[in-house]
Amino acid sequence: MRDVAIIGVGYTKFGEMWGRSFRDIMIEAGLEAITDAGIEGREIDAMYVGNMSGGRFIAQEHVSALIADYSGFARDFHIPATRVEAACASGGLAVREAYINVASGLHDIVVAAGVEKMTDIGTEMTADVLASASDREWEGFSGATFPGLYALIANYHMHRYGTTREDLAEVSVKNHNNGSLNPKAQFRNRISIETVLNSPLVADPLRLYDCSPITDGAAAVILAPAEVAKKYTDTPVYIKASAQASDTIALHDRRDIATLDATVFASKRAYKQAGIKPTDVDVAEVHDCFTIAEIVAYEDLGFCRKGEGGMLIREGVTAIDGDIPVNPSGGLKACGHPVGATGVKQVAEVVLQLRGDAGKRQVDGAEIGLTHNVGGTGATAVVHILSR
């Protein structure tokens, strides 16, 4: 297996892009990554595209071929382009597949991309599409939605560990603060604890400001063998580990609904592969689809003991200037959550952090970064560890 580096990154502004098409935003992200890498299209050997549900969001399947076509890679170079689907972890898994491809020696320059256009259909249909990432027969058909399922996790966590309603709100406040520093974030407004607590109830105890939004967006990263990375950039970022794990798709079959075992096992495998401990991580982008998800992620990634996630956010440990800065991009909550693109954006953000190119949201002295991308309520988890 070869060592692998990321030589270029790009992602669009996230938000509601009424006047732009699926292919437009994907091409924008890809061109930004290619320009960042300083490569030409003919140097690209393969492409992996994370996309959860183009067939229902925009009535378009075969999206990898669509993107290869409109990027010029199909007609001019005939590269292999493959769609990757793992619900909201589709983007992270696309990066992992691209990593495996380069590490194995099959190809040299590979694009990992992610894209979702979610706002072209109504909110009710969007909720139904997202619910298809749960166990449709045992959860969806019974009326369970993802806010409802994560509300179960939140209620149990609060009951068992004493996590408070204010702890959840602190996650949203932190991530909106970070998003205000990110010019590509969907929401750049700072909010207060009171704003979160007084927002409309979605699924008790989760309120509107505890939930990530419906988002359009795309992201891309360019991977290359580490031994040639310096040919393209003076600041390559190395993928030190890539790990994936699975769990039951239905929440009721879990060993412990307040623990995402897929995250636990994926992160342990990643730490072992990278030869580091959780305390070595300088910056992390984690999957905060709901505020409780970020608190649980702190614990399952080993940043604290089980039940202490509320304490971490309460004491400012995960703020940009804290000991373990989490979601400096604004996370899914404020930067936005175009489901197929999120995992790729997380990697792009950590690359910017490690290169020192993150602007006002820069984490000082970051040398090791982690990304954590989750599908559904944790049936899939993908963890990457990156290093300067």
Is 157 in the active site? no
Q: Does residue 230 sit in the same domain as residue 265?
A: no
User: What burial class does residue 128 get, using C-beta atoms within 10 Å of its C-beta: 0-12 exposed, 13-18 middle, 19+ buried?
Assistant: middle
Q: Give the number of C-alpha atoms closer than 13 A to the C-alpha of residue 257, restricted to the C-beta side.
A: 19
DSSP state at residue 378: T
- Residue 129 forms part of a structural domain: no
Please give the pLDDT value at position 62.
97
Q: Does residue 96 sit in the same domain as residue 209?
A: no
Under 8 Å CB-to-CB from 349, ≥6 apart: which residues?
285, 328, 329, 358
- Residue 333 forms part of a structural domain: yes
Q: What is the pLDDT of residues 25-53, one digit of tens each?
A: 999 999 999 999 999 989 999 999 999 99
Last residue in a domain, options 187, 204, 237: 237
For residues 76 and 234, which has the higher predicted lDDT (pLDDT)? 234
Per annotation, catalytic residue among 88, 289, 304, 335: 88
The mean pLDDT of 189-214, rounded to a whole number, is 98
Please give the pLDDT value at position 275.
98
Q: Does residue 265 sit in the same domain as residue 337?
A: yes
- Residue 375 forms part of a structural domain: yes
Q: Which of 334, 387, 379 is nearest to 93 (CA)?
A: 379
Per-residue tokens: 66: 């669509």
Residue 72 is part of which domain span? 4-122+215-237
Q: What is the pLDDT of residues 339-371, one digit of tens each?
A: 999 999 999 999 999 999 999 999 999 999 999
Render 237-287 in DSSP notation, one character per residue.
EEEEEEEEEE--SSGGG-S-TTS-HHHHHHHHHHHHHHT--GGG--EEE--
| Helix-, strand-, coil-residue percentages of the chain, each rounded to 5 | 45, 20, 40
Is 287 in the active site? no
Q: Does residue 89 sit in the same domain as residue 202?
A: no
Q: Does residue 195 sit in the same domain as residue 118?
A: no
Please give the pLDDT value at position 75.
84
| The model scores a pTM over 0.85 | yes
Please give the pLDDT value at position 74.
86
User: What burial class does residue 197 get, using C-beta atoms within 10 Å of its C-beta: 0-12 exposed, 13-18 middle, 19+ buried?
Assistant: middle
Q: Does residue 209 sit in the same domain as residue 232?
A: no
In one-letter notation, the amino acid at residue 330 is G
DSSP element (H, E) containing 47? strand 46-50
Tell me the pLDDT of the chain averaged across its residues.
97
Per annotation, catalytic residue among 157, 337, 372, 384: 337
- Residue 138 forms part of a structural domain: yes
Q: Does residue 178 sit in the same domain as residue 86?
A: no
Q: Does residue 146 sit in the same domain as residue 272?
A: yes
Are 176 and 193 contacting, i.e. CB atoms less than 8 angstroms apart? no
Give the CATH number, domain containing residue 226.
3.40.47.10
The mean pLDDT of 79-94, rounded to a whole number, is 98
Please give the pLDDT value at position 76.
85
Q: Domain count of the chain?
A: 2
Q: What is the pLDDT of residues 246-304, one digit of tens each?
A: 999 999 999 999 999 999 999 999 999 999 999 999 999 999 999 999 999 999 999 99
